[in-house]
Structure 1
């Protein structure tokens, strides 16, 4: 469901309670464009846990494949190379 930023300003955050009775998320439209998405905090916590779990799995895979540096010098060199190739 979409609402405008002005509606949030005039009605306050209580408008979200009403919206969440019918919808899982509320998109806030600013000057004709969707800019923010509001979700219940419990859903945010689940989503954040998913993100952290995914990041952990990626790091563990990198460690398994030896995709890491053992010194600051190696890390800086890889950054310089990435910048050069970009």
Structure 2
């Protein structure tokens, strides 16, 4: 964990130091965990995994016919009902 005050005094080097030992680092503000920082490569890997999961879920919906076919007007009406 990195305190926000440490980032103020040490700058990015405090983040780099934390990421040498861990794949992610928590930043605390007033003693409470508030932010997570990680390397861009790790973030991209995480996003890719999220997109893969969303694609799998969508394919399951299609396979199980868990979707609606409707016009734009019907869809908008449903949103406001």
Q: TM-score range by the shorter chain?
A: 0.7 to 0.9
The one-character-per-residue Cα deviations of 1:16-57 (angstroms, maximum 9, x if unpaired) are 112222222111011111111111111111111000000000
Residue 80 of structure 1 and its aligned partner are, at CA, apart by 6.8
Listed as ranges, the gaps of 5+ residues in structure 1 are 82-86
Residue 20 of structure 1: aligned partner: 19
With the length of structure 2 as denominator, give the TM-score of the two structures: 0.81
Pairwise CA RMSD: 1.8
Residue 55 of structure 1: aligned partner: 54
Q: Size of the alignment, in residue pairs?
A: 79
Listed as ranges, the gaps of 5+ residues in structure 2 are none
Residue 10 of structure 1 and its aligned partner are, at CA, apart by 2.0
